[in-house]
Amino acid sequence: MAVQKIIRYPDPILKSRSEPVRAMDERIARVIKNLLDTLAASPGVAIAAPQIGAADRIIVCDVSRKVKEKHHGRMILLNPLIRRREGTKIFREGCLSVPDYTGNVSRAETVWVEGLDPEGRPVSLVAEGFEALALQHEIDHLDGVLFLDRIASLSTDIFRRKTY
């Protein structure tokens, strides 16, 4: 397993809907390990399988190195779905696959997420604040949606990143 090259926009895989994980096998275990390794070596807090070239519905999220607020720690979610959203807030968002820009995006402040862990057990959680943002961002990746697609005005709400 190894750190993978992060796929950058406009690669077509980033605009494609990912396939559900049907069973845990060696290939899926490899994708998960590669996601973990790649996230650990990056400045990001979350990553989705399409960002390393795998069209599987898998995300890894760990906001602990960026925020001290309540969070769930490192999560590996297969086939995650947002079941409910509450509140809205404008967040400044960035993406490992669009490293040169950030943008203002309207997201839910709280989300209820369901999925499976790597052992196939159901996971159900409520995330708030920055963690909710990260989960929404990564689940969007699984549907071929980038934060750029959610920016209301490309003339006023997108910004060139000074540093990563």
Which residues, including other chains, have CB under 8 Å from residue 119's CB and lie 6 or more apart? 24
Spatial distance between the Cα atoms of 142 and 126, rounded to a whole number of angstroms: 19
Residue 100 CA to residue 27 CA, distance in Å, equals 31
d(CA 139, CA 147): 11
Q: How far is CA 43 from CA 6, 69, 154, 164, in A?
A: 12, 19, 25, 7
138 has catalytic annotation: yes
Candidate list 19, 93, 128, 138, residue with the active-site label: 138
- Annotated catalytic residues are 138
